Amino acid sequence: MPVCVPVFMTGFRMFSLSEMKAATNNFSEHNLIGRGGSATVYKGVISDVLVAIKRFCAARHLRRDVDHYVNVFALLGQHQNIVCFLGYCQETTYEKMLYKGRYVEAEITSMIVVEEYTPNGNLSDIIEGQCPQMDWSIIFQIIQGMAQGIAHLHWKNIIHMDLKPENILFDSNMNPKICDFEMCKIFDQEVTQEVTEELAGTLGYMAPEYIAQGVISAKNDVYSFGLLVLSTIRGMSRSGLLQHSIEWAWEVREAQSLKDLFDSASCGESQLQEVERRIHIGLLCTQDNPRERPTMPDVLRMLNSEERPAAPTPPSFIKR
């Protein structure tokens, strides 16, 4: 069984529901940051500090889900590329609700986590071209930071399982922060993979072996990371927007047309070489066969080395 740290031993602050309501002006729409299938996120203020307050949908999440979330952060500790976890709220209240023409007392359990507030949006804004063109040094910093954060997860035997642009947030310095750990898996030290019949995550960023056979391993995250890298660079080029990121990257690689995609004023020869290296790494990470993908420590070594990585194998859907 995975290591489990009892919630009361984590040292994280447990907030009351009244504190959460006060911080968000009673969860007002004015404080709303975003809404997903599993939770609604609000901007809040606690002790004069801006925070992000994630309120889970009670109908879809049980108490153990927040326990799992807290346990993950207890194992992770703090890391510069993982969103900082500040505390949580688990509180059951009883409210009168109208049911079949009469009022009945209903039990409502609030499940909330409190995290650092990240003011600069997420990676989707860059990929979709919704923010001003960025300097390549910032893009390289983002790719490096994502790799460092995922490598830390894997070092702690945690697999994220839902790495996608919306789950890469940016702090005030555009430092990337991985968030949303509801779907992550915690493995025992000696376990490297497992198989499930219930898929969860975001289809466009799932590894092929997970979709086809339900295989879960660290290589799932490696595949997602590769897609994030390729999608980010494609977004910077403002080209191939109707193509799959892997297909776009292979076309660019084989046509050797990288120089034509970027303004020479903003992307010199040395930067083009760095872009090419990251496309190469992204293609290695998205190999069909998980055994042919690097580990995240391998990725970090490739990012920080001038040696040319091994040649990737074209995916099955690329016609040659």
Q: Which of 122, 177, 124 is nearest to 152 (CA)?
A: 177
Query: Pick from 112, 3, 116, 15: which is nearest to 63 by CA?
Result: 112
Residue with tokens 């194992």: 75
Catalytic residue among 67, 162, 180, 221: 162
Could you tell me which residues are beta bridge partners of residue 56?
Answer: 39
Alpha helices in 85-216 (DSSP H): 123-127, 136-155, 208-213
Q: Amino acid letter at 86? A: L
Query: How many CA atoms are closer than 13 Å to the CA of 90, on its beta-carbon side?
Result: 14
Tokens for 253? 């690689």
> CB of 127 within 8 A of CB of 241?
no
Catalytic-residue membership of 162:
yes
The residues carrying an active-site annotation are 162
